[in-house]
Amino acid sequence: MDKRKAKDLLSEEVARIGKAVSSPKRLELLELLAQGEKTVDALAAEAGIDIKLASAHLKVLKAARLVVAERDGRFIAYRLSGEDVSALWVKLRTVAEEHLVELKVAMDGIFSAPEKLDAETRRSLMSKARRGDVVVIDVRPAAEYDNGHLPFARSMPLDEIRQRIKELPADKDIVAYCRGPFCMMSAEAVALLQEHGYRAQKIADGTAEWQAAGLPLTTA
């Protein structure tokens, strides 16, 4: 029967996407690229791998059309080929979080307070932020903030908080977010702020999670 061959062909094509997301390193690259366009250089440095290896992995992602490359002067910038790729990364991660006990255990060991958000919490956070009852800070590097951020959030990169801490109101609740549930920057920011007497907490959402929940981002 020829139906078999047709079906195999279709499954094989989808498996190209599956293969692309079957490597830990590539998933980390996707998470980074979900924050915006980045050079091979920057990706390798942030993922803690050799540039050659990063290049090889990016080639695989490109072959699966999950990312596109564009030369920008001497550098080559990679970016996700669409919003749906970011959503796929979120879906993979949430399925893993839901079903893999090992991942739950690992996360409990790394993050003291998970702070997962549901639709209602997200909504109430936004109305509080709109009224100014809480200050939402984006602790990622400024370039990532510029690429898109939560509504009403202000940029306060982790490595600038020490110097700029005076800019934050001491009498208000501060909510920090970063790249998502696997990112440790918001936790560090919260620790730093609490040391200085601020009422700070983190949320697990990053821009990818926010967008996957159907909520809009602000692109400055």
Q: Of the candidates 42, 69, 76, 107, which one interacts with a second copy according to CB under 8 A?
A: 107
* Residue 178 annotated among the catalytic residues of the structure: yes
Q: How many CA atoms lie within 13 A of 190 on its CB side?
A: 23
Return the structure tokens found at 114.
């998970």
Of the candidates 63, 55, 52, which has an alpha carbon nearest to the alpha carbon of residue 19? 63
Cβ 48 to DNA, closest distance in Å? 10
Angstrom distance (rounded) from CA 140 to CA 206: 10
Q: Considering beta carbons, is residue 48 or 73 the nearer one to a second copy?
A: 48
Decide if residue 118 touches a second copy (CB under 8 A). Answer: no
Decide if residue 139 touches a second copy (CB under 8 A). Answer: no
Integer CA distances (angstroms), 3 to 8, 10, 14, in order: 9, 11, 17
87 binds, options a second copy, DNA, none, Cβ within 5 to 8 A by partner type: a second copy
Beta-carbon contacts of 34 under 8 Å, excluding residues fewer than 6 positions away, are 80, 85, 86, 89, 179, 180, 206, 207, 208
Q: Of the candidates 91, 123, 130, 196, which one interacts with a second copy according to CB under 8 A?
A: 91
Residues that bind a second copy (CB under 8 A): 3-4, 6-19, 21-25, 27-28, 31, 48, 64-66, 81-82, 84-85, 87-88, 91-96, 98-103, 106-107, 110, 182, 184
Active site positions, annotated: 178
